[in-house]
Structure 1
Amino acid sequence: MADKRDLLILGGGLVGMTLALAAARKGISSHVIDRADPAELTAEGFDGRASAISTASWNLFSNIGLDSALEPFGCPIASIAVTDGMKPGRIDFQPEAHEGSLGLMFTNRSLRLALFEAAKDEPLISWHARAEVIKRERLEFEVAATLASGERLEAKLMVAAEGRNSPTREDAGISVAKWDYRHRAIIVGLTHEKPHGNVAWEIFYPAGPFALLPLLDAPDGKHRSALVWTVNEKDAAGVLALSDRAFLAEVDKRMHGVFGAIALDGPRSSYPLGFHHTAKITEHRLALVGDAAHGIHPIAGQGLNLGLRDVGALVEVLVEGMRLGLDPADAQSLTRYERWRGLDSFMVAFATDGLTRLFGIPGRLPSAIRRFGMGVVQRTPVLKHWFMDEARGMSGTLPELMRG
């Protein structure tokens, strides 16, 4: 007899596996299918990226029981410094003591390890790793995926969580608005002489943002941060080809000595930056989550958090519908998910795209105008708190799993 489950989640990355675990905590079963090998994804040095987990996203992890596994690896973000090329007029976002931090920084490896370990022991999750989907079916009363092995997995609702180039989204014929920023993000870990003080730096240059994100000190006591340096695509190959010494000299020049002497902590990697947003995030017996639905510039570190908000909203909609005896793919439930997430994800995408373009305008006059505006925000507590609530993910209608 086929092992038919409630959800068929295609993609077992950070968003897809969080969805499976959040659903399981509410009694919803799933098949999770992913092409990748978990051992490779969690190997040392596989992925040097780090993610800022907002307050709302941390609430989600806590509410599904991952806080004890993750907490030792998270570095609190006490404040965010935003500056136009390190010129006068910066903004310092620092919450009141009773509001806690602005979020936590984790290496992607730490997040994967915690998620995969929890999924391995969850009976409501049937995890199919290193599996290739060769056929997707969305029928009247069920969905199914046939694997290269010949196995056919059945469920009631298909969820696409495969990332920006989602084949499930393409197979469903959902149109996507997208463009290439012609930028590339260069990712690398740094060790540095001075402590970062739990400050995340967002330094804007005309070529793109230069972000320094605080990480926990290394076991040997070295201070560490993650660098996300955005460069023009035409310059990326040259920057990546620099010797370590020359690369560090370029990085040091843009840091203006805020952390003292620096050294590389791991290999450099890079990926192209683009924008995409789907016309809709649901279809017959199908829902999109995470980058399958929307891909944004990493300028504000909101990409993963946006996907986790999809998770919280989708699980809440499913739970409420199934409590009333509705099918997980009930059209009204999916419409509610579409309305809940469609506007929020579009507004975040629109804002990050606007910031990217605004700070990309070169010249003294645009810089002076930007810094004047930043000075106004710095001196206006109401505006600063609004921006901080947005960064913490605590604005708008929050799913139950993302509340404190």
Structure 2
Amino acid sequence: MDNPTSLTILRGMTYDSDILIVGGGLNGPALALALADAGFSVTVIDAQPAGARADAGFDGRGYALAIASQRLLSAIGVWAGVSANAQPILEIKITDGRAGEGPSPWMLHFDHAEIEEGPMGFMLEDRFLYAAFLKAMEAHPGITHVPGETVINQEVDGSRVSVSLASGRQLKGRLIVGSDGRKSGTAERAGIKRTGKDYGQTALVCAIEHELPHHGIAHQFFMPPGPLAILPLPGNKVSIVWSETHEAAARIQALSDDEYLEVLKPRFGSFLGKFSLAGQRFTYPLNLTLADSFVAPRLALIGDAAHGVHPIAGQGLNLGLRDVGALAEVLIEARRRGEDFGAVDVLDRYQQWRRWDTATLVAATDSINRLFSNDNAFLRFARDLGLGAVNAMPGLRRTFIREAAGLTGDLPKLLQGRQV
């Protein structure tokens, strides 16, 4: 709902909402719903016009949601509206090789039957998830959705933060949350610097319709220029995330659809029978970007605004939803104790909770990409041997499966499927 006249008065100061969230993609609405369910008033400032992505047709873009992320979506009331369109991930097969030569005989195979919680995760298209968030936000009385607006300035004044919108409108709250992507204006305006690097790779993204069933199996095929992920969608469709050097990706993207498929064929193989393109083709450059701090006075960052990682393990959205769960829990518990939930000592609890998990995943994805995205004969032998060795150890393999499912570490309550 959009109700700009809604005001909260606290200790003589006027606020439009308790919390102002900049960014209306996925993490921002998820946090808004989690907080509004706990009694916070929340405003979501969304650069997208109203409904811009809500009625989108099939284009193949999707997310690999870990079990923990699915539990959070269920806890905030979103999963019921999208579950019918989700594809369970029942197995993951990880291989190494060269295009046209097929994979190495050494592989790592994860099967959901090795854990008790069910599928390791779900594939869900962007169009369904975004529409569900939009519907849930519009229906929630505690959320004010401000679409088609961008923030051009933000200021902190004691216990209040104010933002200025491009339209000239001003909004005031007690905390601002940046969920506005890798080039976060919220972080930049707060003076938060970033570290990172360009991977020299571009991801080619598309969807493929194929002849034979995929049986809910996700594939990760490592090749010297970069990995190829084949991710199952409902029906006989898969989502492709295919990494090449910037130069090669630009040449491939410029090809006709038929020529594009000819380049893909030796990489994709024939295990799903005949295949064709379904939907649009996309590209995006791959880089690593990490905010030097996840918090500042009366400000917190979540999702890509805090950390942008390589898509090699499909953990970008899962990492952001862990931020959502942790920040929501910290803020809700602080307010229950009568604390100023926007105070720096409260926000530091969120940062301490999330910093180690983020750093660990950043290091892991960066190391895996460097280890596999090359054609060094010695490294090829070592990594193939490593895949085979892990696959031969059920205990270690089960640990990796639980990690992929998001079931390890200090999980926020929402990611356990519990209310805060």
Partner amino acid for 1:92? H
Aligned 8 A contact 1:7 1:155 in 2: yes
Shift of the alpha carbon at 1:47? 5.7
Separation in 1 of the partners of 2:351 and 2:196? Answer: 19
1:6 maps to which residue?
18
Separation in 2 of the partners of 1:241 and 1:281? Answer: 38
Aligned 8 A contact 1:2 1:153 in 2: no
- For 1:248, what is the secondary structure of its paired residue? helix
Q: Closer, same or farther in 2 for the Cα pair 1:28/1:72, shift >3 Å? A: same
Shift of the alpha carbon at 1:96? 2.2
Separation in 1 of the partners of 2:60 and 2:209? Answer: 13
1:93 maps to which residue?
110
Separation in 1 of the partners of 2:286 and 2:374? Answer: 18
Q: 2:228 aligns with which of 184, 200, 210?
A: 210
Does structure 1 residue 288 correspond to structure 2 residue 305? Answer: no
Q: 1:76 aligns with which of 88, 105, 109?
A: 88
Separation in 1 of the partners of 2:122 and 2:19? Answer: 30
Aligned 8 A contact 2:153 2:189 in 1: no
- How many aligned positions are there? 399
Q: 2:366 aligns with which of 346, 353, 370?
A: 353
Does structure 1 residue 27 correspond to structure 2 residue 44? Answer: no
Q: Any idea what the Cα deviations from partners look like across 1:201-255, whole Å, max 9, x if unmatched?
A: 00000100001000001xxxxx100011101001112101122112112212112
Q: Closer, same or farther in 2 for the Cα pair 1:168/1:46, shift >3 Å? A: farther
Alignment of 1:3-402 (within 5 A): 3=7, 4=15, 5-45=17-57, 48-85=60-97, 86-96=103-113, 98-217=116-235, 223-402=236-415
Q: Closer, same or farther in 2 for the Cα pair 1:242/1:333, shift >3 Å? A: same
Aligned 8 A contact 1:25 1:64 in 2: yes
Q: Any idea what the Cα deviations from partners look like across 1:118-145, whole Å, max 9, x if unmatched?
A: 0011111111000122221121110111
Partner amino acid for 1:83? T
Aligned 8 A contact 1:49 1:188 in 2: yes
Aligned 8 A contact 1:40 1:46 in 2: no
Moved over 3 A (4+): 45-48
Shift of the alpha carbon at 1:45? 4.6
Higher mean C-alpha displacement, 287-296 vs 29-38: 29-38
Separation in 2 of the partners of 1:38 and 1:110? Answer: 16
Partner amino acid for 2:275? I
Aligned 8 A contact 1:10 1:161 in 2: yes
Aligned 8 A contact 1:312 1:402 in 2: yes
Separation in 2 of the partners of 1:26 and 1:58? Answer: 19
Separation in 2 of the partners of 1:326 and 1:283? Answer: 17
Q: Any idea what the Cα deviations from partners look like across 1:340-371, whole Å, max 9, x if unmatched?
A: 00110111011001000000121333211111
- For 1:40, what is the secondary structure of its paired residue? coil
Structure 2 residues without counterparts, runs of 5 or longer: 8-14, 98-102
Separation in 2 of the partners of 1:333 and 1:128? Answer: 27
- For 1:309, what is the secondary structure of its paired residue? helix
Shift of the alpha carbon at 1:112? 0.1
Q: Any idea what the Cα deviations from partners look like across 1:98-156, whole Å, max 9, x if unmatched?
A: 33011000011111010000001111111100012222112111011122222211110
Partner amino acid for 1:87? S
Separation in 1 of the partners of 2:50 and 2:265? Answer: 35
- For 1:267, what is the secondary structure of its paired residue? strand
Separation in 2 of the partners of 1:132 and 1:99? Answer: 41
Partner amino acid for 1:381? P
Separation in 2 of the partners of 1:272 and 1:294? Answer: 15
Separation in 2 of the partners of 1:301 and 1:261? Answer: 26
Aligned 8 A contact 2:221 2:227 in 1: yes
Partner amino acid for 1:318? L
Higher mean C-alpha displacement, 62-71 vs 289-298: 62-71
Q: Any idea what the Cα deviations from partners look like across 1:282-334, whole Å, max 9, x if unmatched?
A: 11000000000000000000000000000000000001100011122022211
Shift of the alpha carbon at 1:385? 1.3
TM-score (norm: length of structure 1): 0.96
> Identity of aligned pairs, percent?
41
Q: Closer, same or farther in 2 for the Cα pair 1:301/1:38, shift >3 Å? A: farther
Aligned 8 A contact 1:53 1:106 in 2: yes
Separation in 2 of the partners of 1:151 and 1:298? Answer: 37
Aligned 8 A contact 2:58 2:279 in 1: no
Separation in 2 of the partners of 1:101 and 1:2? Answer: 43
Separation in 2 of the partners of 1:94 and 1:77? Answer: 9
Separation in 2 of the partners of 1:241 and 1:46? Answer: 21
Q: Any idea what the Cα deviations from partners look like across 1:147-188, whole Å, max 9, x if unmatched?
A: 222221111011000000001101111121111111111111
Q: Any idea what the Cα deviations from partners look like across 1:50-69, whole Å, max 9, x if unmatched?
A: 10011110010011111210
Separation in 1 of the partners of 2:310 and 2:50? Answer: 27
Aligned 8 A contact 2:59 2:206 in 1: no
RMSD: 1.3
- For 1:53, what is the secondary structure of its paired residue? strand
Aligned 8 A contact 2:223 2:374 in 1: no
